[in-house]
Amino acid sequence: MSLLARPLRAAVCTVLVLSGCVTAGPAAADEPSCGHGRNLRYVVTFDRGTPESTARAQVTGACGATTVYYPQIAVAVATSGDPSFGTRVGLDRAFSAQAERLAAQRATEVKPQPARATLPVTDPARVPTADLSDRQWDMRMINAGHAPGVSDVSTGSRDVVVGVLDSGIDPDHPDLSGALDRDDSAGCLTGAPDRSPSAWAPTTSVHGTHVAGIIAAADDGHGVTGVAPGVRVASVKVIDDRGYADPEAAVCGLMWAASRHMRLTNSSFFVNPWTLSCIRGDDRGVVHEALARAVEYSTSAGTLNVAAATNEAVDLTPSARSGSPGAGSGCEALPAALRDVVAVSAVGSDRVKAGYSSYGLGVIDVTAPGGEAGECVLSTVPGGYAPLCGTSMAAPHVTGVLALLASVHPDAGPRQLRRTLDNQAMPMPCPADYDLTGDGTQDAYCAGYEGFNGFYGHGMVDALAAVAPRGRPDPAR
């Protein structure tokens, strides 16, 4: 299957004619009357190779303003107060998550989700100093942290920078302050990178700080220890104060990470505005196209992207025969389902796929601890430490293992790192019985075999294997 969803409509090369917005007649007299409404953001795709001047002219001609244009992938982020902007550009090329949410609110008369409470500023002196490593069952499961035989070889290299595409990383947390790469951090909520600390710091969510701790919390005898202490993490803020990760923010984050030559990114989110990853249509095609191009480009630039499979408990297997077990639901999780992304499912402390974790043969690459209710994953949060559950927690375990691999093998490219990760994973067979509720019916169907299946992919990641002498990357790219 091609990485890109489908070919786009050919762009007009000489005279810009966008749904009647620009005509070949006299300029002033025939220019359209732009509508006025709420100013909204759009992600806009163009034919590959479209010059920036042409893209900007088309956006302007459609009554919009260009925030940023990424010529490497021919994707723009634009704003417009004209309700017809999407139609003028072409609904197969423009999409606004903000407009989608507003339309849903009008249709259902649901009030907009309020912003969350602002996080308090962390006082490093008040963060608990007790050693919490004995509560890190997740690290022992993947042979990381202070598992026997691991602690003396699991320090990562400061040359490895991991972009944490999330809600921001607390710069004052003592377990993360030494790992945080402020120079490579940026806020991406507008679709264009903003390097000011206020743009990338967390404001309402502990999520990004928790994810960063799983990857790189210091091994200092206090609090928790990450999979790859010693590597650096960059705060790339793509999740806003209401918990939304819009397409333009995700594209910005991926492109920023590539431009800063980060070895890895971690995406513990799925792109909004949909509450389910099963929505399809032309707008979904635009989002898929933009993200697929960004991932494809970042991979070619040397950045390997890891993403959570989502907590929707849906079968992400590409549909083959609708209605039969293992045929797939037609759902697509973005960015996890994209070809060049390492997609991660979650298991509980019992090493069985967590009930919430999405899955799918040919989509899930590996699995890692995400926890279940009552035994979640302990990590850093502003002001201290807390347990959280989800594929959001599973993904950074994988990113941490890859960071160790990248530390040991500094010249390995994304495909080499990924192939080595897969080869070193501990195979996990499909469970013989997956009846979590005890009602006599299977809660999900696991297709595949021990070495590769829809629940666990190639298996459980192994941090010790990543740094052991046998952890050599495959020379084939």
For residue 475, being part of any structural domain is answered with: no
Same domain, 50 and 130: no
Q: At which of 108, 140, 166 does a domain end? A: 108
- Picking from 192, 199, 165, 243, the residue whose alpha carbon sits closest to that of residue 79 is 192
Residue 118 covered by a domain? no
Q: pLDDT digit of tens for each residue in the chain (477 aa)?
A: 333 333 333 333 322 322 333 333 344 445 668 989 999 999 999 999 999 999 999 999 999 999 999 999 999 999 999 999 999 999 999 999 999 889 888 877 667 777 788 998 999 999 999 999 999 999 999 999 776 656 554 689 999 999 999 999 999 999 999 999 999 999 999 999 999 999 999 999 999 999 999 999 999 999 999 999 999 999 999 999 999 999 999 999 999 999 999 999 999 999 976 655 565 544 568 999 999 999 999 999 999 999 999 999 999 998 643 444 445 566 889 999 999 999 999 999 999 999 999 999 999 999 999 999 989 999 999 999 999 999 999 999 999 999 999 999 999 999 999 999 999 999 999 999 999 999 999 999 999 999 999 999 999 999 999 887 644 445 444
Geometric angle at alpha carbon 120, from 265 and 220, rounded to 5°: 55
The count of structural domains within the chain is: 2
141 shares a domain with 101: no
Same domain as 186, residue 43: no
- Whether residues 89 and 135 fall in one domain: no
| CA distance linking residue 224 with residue 385, whole number of Å | 8
Q: Is residue 115 part of a domain?
A: no
One domain, residues 91 and 159: no
The residues annotated as belonging to the active site are 166, 207, 392
Residue 206: what residue type?
V
Q: Which domain holds residue 320?
A: 126-434+443-467
What is the DSSP secondary-structure string of 84-141? THHHHH-TTTEE-HHHHHHHHHHHHTPPPPPPPPPPPPP-GGGS--SB-GGG-HHHHH
Same domain, 458 and 350: yes
Q: In terms of domains, do 258 and 402 share one? A: yes
166 and 312 assigned to the same domain: yes
| Tokens matching residue 329 | 């639901």
Neighbours of 179 (CB within 10 A): 26
Q: Give the domain-ending residue among 47, 82, 108.
A: 108
Q: Are 357 and 309 in contact (CB under 8 A)?
A: yes
Contacts by 105-114, CB closer than 8 A, 24 or more apart: 113/242, 113/243, 114/242
User: 429 and 283, same structural domain?
Assistant: yes
| pLDDT score for 147 | 64
d(CA 78, CA 99): 13
- In 316-470, at which residue ranges do the beta strands (DSSP E only) sit? 341-347, 366-369, 377-381, 384-388, 448-449, 452-453
